[in-house]
């Protein structure tokens, strides 16, 4: 073998594990046999692009699972006044959001003609029915009891959403944290009906205005406010990218789940999780 040929071959090092008959492998740890066999295209005859559609949504659900894990942890940390690790969790959530938003560019390679070949096989299934997405929205404060009823057919999902519906959101716990630290948080925000969507409070805008007037004096709170704005900004970018992909793929057709499609998605752009953190900008 020539010198050039030798350099082109990377020999397996002597100590590298090779026998997995009695040892755990990479595939064992990750459950790859189950994971990689979870794609079940339904098109007849088989359509090449259906695998893309399935994997796109399955991977999104995996990232949503991690996002829920991180958001629930951040919320729990706020209850015990552990702000720094809570912010670390939110930093990770933001990176997850970036991945989810970037993923739309893969689905955008599906042309209207290609999607039309697989759409009939989706039947009434729709991303609207993602209970993990609803759980993320509930954790961030966009509560809607009617959404829980959509999952009457899935006891586990319904129970989880029903629990999140009555629990404080991440923002609710942040406001409780502020109150414990001596910030002026209106009492009605601390003891409200958590099943209802959060509504803006003018007095709280005043409190945040004092924080933004002297960031160095309130750095931890100031940083948290900006992290939350980042999180919402990322969420809106995800929503908008979703809207764009649906528009280029099906135009103004109805969604498979029965929604108005593009118009329904566009209305979601008007929703906000942390209204005071946007209103305060007019005061700076």
* Residue 73 contacts residue 89 (beta carbons within 8 Å): yes
Q: What is the pTM of this model?
A: 0.91
Q: In the chain, which residue ranges form alpha helices assigned H by DSSP?
A: 3-7, 26-30, 32-35, 50-79, 83-107, 112-118, 131-140, 145-149, 155-166, 170-180, 187-190, 202-213, 219-250, 262-268, 276-279
pLDDT tens digits, one per residue of 218-255: 999 999 999 999 999 999 999 999 999 999 888 877 77
**Segment 269-284, tens digit of pLDDT:** 778 999 999 999 999 9
Half-sphere exposure of 144 (CA within 13 A, CB side): 14
The binding site for heme comprises 242
Query: 237-245: long-range contacts at Cβ-Cβ below 8 A with a sequence spacing of 24 or more?
Result: 237/97, 237/101, 238/97, 238/100, 238/101, 238/104, 239/265, 239/268, 239/269, 240/269, 241/101, 241/104, 242/104, 243/269, 244/104, 244/108, 245/104, 245/107, 245/108
Model pLDDT, residue 126: 87
pLDDT of residue 15: 87
The number of beta carbons lying within 10 Å of the beta carbon of residue 78 is: 26
Domains and CATH numbers, the chain: 46-282 (1.20.58.480)
Which residue ranges make up the annotated binding site?
53-57, 115, 119, 242, 256
Which regions in the chain score pLDDT beneath 50?
Answer: none
The confidence score (pLDDT) of residue 264 equals 76
Binding residues for substrate: 53-57, 115, 119, 256
pLDDT at 261: 75
Opening angle at CA 188, ends 177 and 280, nearest 5: 65
User: Rounded to an integer, what distance in angstroms lies between the CA atom of residue 206 and that of residue 218?
Assistant: 14
Q: What is the DSSP string of 265-281?
A: HHHHTT--S-THHHHGG
């Amino acid at each position: 073998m020539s010198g050039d040929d030798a350099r082109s071959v990377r020999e397996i090092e002597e100590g590298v594990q090779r026998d997995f008959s009695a040892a755990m492998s990479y595939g064992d740890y990750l459950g790859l046999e189950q994971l990689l066999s979870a794609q079940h295209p339904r098109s007849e005859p088989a359509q090449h692009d259906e695998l893309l559609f399935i994997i796109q949504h399955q991977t999104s659900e995996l990232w949503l699972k991690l996002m829920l894990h991180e958001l629930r942890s951040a919320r729990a940390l706020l209850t015990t006044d552990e702000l720094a690790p809570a912010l670390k969790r939110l930093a990770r959530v933001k990176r997850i959001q970036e991945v989810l938003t970037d993923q739309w560019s893969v689905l955008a390679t599906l042309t209207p003609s290609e999607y039309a070949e697989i759409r009939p096989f989706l039947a009434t299934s729709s991303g609207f029915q993602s209970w993990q997405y609803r759980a993320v929205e509930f954790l961030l404060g966009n509560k809607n009891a009617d959404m829980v009823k959509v999952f009457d057919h899935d006891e586990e999902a319904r129970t989880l959403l029903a629990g999140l519906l009555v629990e404080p959101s991440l923002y609710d716990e942040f406001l409780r944290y502020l109150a414990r630290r001596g910030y002026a948080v209106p009492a009605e925000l601390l003891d409200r009906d958590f099943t209802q969507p959060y509504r803006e409070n003018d007095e709280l805008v005043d409190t945040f205005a004092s924080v933004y007037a002297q960031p160095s004096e309130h750095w931890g709170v100031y940083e948290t406010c900006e992290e939350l704005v980042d999180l919402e900004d990322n969420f809106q970018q995800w929503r908008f990218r979703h809207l764009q992909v649906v528009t280029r793929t099906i135009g103004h057709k109805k969604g498979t789940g029965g929604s108005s499609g593009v118009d329904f998605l566009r209305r979601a752009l008007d929703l906000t999780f942390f209204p005071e953190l946007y209103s305060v900008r007019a005061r700076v």
